[in-house]
């Protein structure tokens, strides 16, 4: 595979399938690793959370807890919980599971900057 094809494949794993309003399915790279990598789940959880925003607010914080390893032969399910939606900020929790087993949970905060101290 060329370097460009490798890069396209890596970006392709961020293209999650939507199976519900707040539920997404993610896949692994075609050359399956021996395990599911945390960075992959973190990036996919961020994408899932961002796709549920009601307004265009930039991300401000991301906290991820890795609980269990996953099977790279099976897809991942991303369930987004909308914790808070306001005009200038939002909060999301994303649970990453396989067959009902929690692998990772992520908290993502979004905050639109405003005027600072004068």
pLDDT tens-place string over residues 60-83: 999 999 999 889 889 999 999 999
User: Please, what sign has the CA dihedral across residues 64, 28, 10, 24?
Assistant: negative
- E strand intervals along the chain: 17-20, 23-26, 59-66, 76-85, 89-98, 101-111
pLDDT tens-place string over residues 7-65: 555 577 889 999 999 999 998 876 666 778 889 999 999 999 999 999 899 999 999 99
Q: Are 76 and 44 in contact (CB under 8 A)?
A: yes
């Amino acid at each position: 595979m060329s370097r460009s094809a490798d890069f396209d494949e890596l970006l392709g794993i961020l293209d999650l399938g939507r199976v519900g309003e707040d539920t997404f399915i993610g896949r692994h790279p075609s050359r399956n690793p021996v395990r599911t990598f945390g960075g992959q789940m973190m990036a996919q959880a961020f994408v899932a959370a961002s796709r549920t925003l009601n307004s265009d607010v930039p991300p401000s914080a991301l906290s991820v807890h890795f609980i269990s390893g996953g099977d790279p032969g099976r897809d991942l399910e991303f369930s987004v919980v909308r914790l808070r939606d306001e005009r200038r900020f939002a909060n999301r929790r994303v649970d990453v599971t396989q067959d009902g087993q929690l692998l990772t949970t992520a908290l993502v905060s979004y905050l639109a900057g405003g005027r600072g101290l004068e």
